[in-house]
Structure 1
Amino acid sequence: MSTKQSFEKIARNTWLAGLGSIETSIELISKSIDNAQKQSTQLYNELLTQGTQIQSKINDTTGGMTSKGKSLFKTDANHSHEQKLEKLNAKVEQLTKIVDDLIEKKAEQAPVRKAATVKKAAPKRTSARKAAVTTNKTSESKSAAPKPK
């Protein structure tokens, strides 16, 4: 066998090994993808089941809260927003009238105070220090005045 033939044989075998490697890789990748799809489908179904259970719990909880809220505020779901607003305005007017009445009653019940007699204020006393300062200032101003010639 010549070197050329030997070289061609090695090249051909390398080529075939590469093709075999590619085919094996494709098969492994295909199996991995199939396995990943199965696992992701299983995971998705598990999460879907858990989400459904959680949503059911939330609906049960909020349903109870909604009914408690409705009973607390005595609201009717069939009333429109305008009707609800009119009811609230009427309630506010009613409460305002009650507050006004209470203020008037309180004012009527308050004892009438007699007008205080006005006393004459006593003259202010000046302190000894202030009097001394005033005396010093007047004596200084007299001494600072120019003497007649």
Structure 2
Amino acid sequence: MDAQRSQMTEALKEETDGYMIDTQLPDDVREAIRKAQYAAKPLSAVDLTGLPHSDDTVTFSLTQAHEHEEMDEEDEILPVIEVAGGSEVEMPSSPPCAPDSESSLPTLPSTPCPYQHHTQLHESLRDIIRGIRTAQEDSLIG
């Protein structure tokens, strides 16, 4: 344990060559990101080609690979497995009842809930502001 501690202390005392990570984005990339924030489809609108070592090209192929191209293990086409076996499987809409249990069917409540008026946010904010203004006016008058 002491040997490991001394090795760690020596490793921490060693001076290393300084290095710098450039986190500043070029102006054209910063402008592209800003424009993409307001675009209808931001991922389609952003252009990151101004970044060094960037490659934002992606090729989608909806057809099978050509015969002369080698297929990777990950690209292997797997057979389609039919789970339902061609027939529809019907699921009950509620869990089954045990044969010996007596469960009552759900009934509608005899008294319905009263209708509640839901005001919109801006209407309720207006009411609050009006209440504050009238309270301030009353305090100035009184």
TM-score w.r.t. the length of structure 2 is 0.20
TM-score w.r.t. the length of structure 1 is 0.19
Bigger-Rg structure (1/2): 1
Q: Which has the higher helix share?
A: 1
- By relative contact order (CA 8 Å, sep 6+), the higher-ranking structure is 2
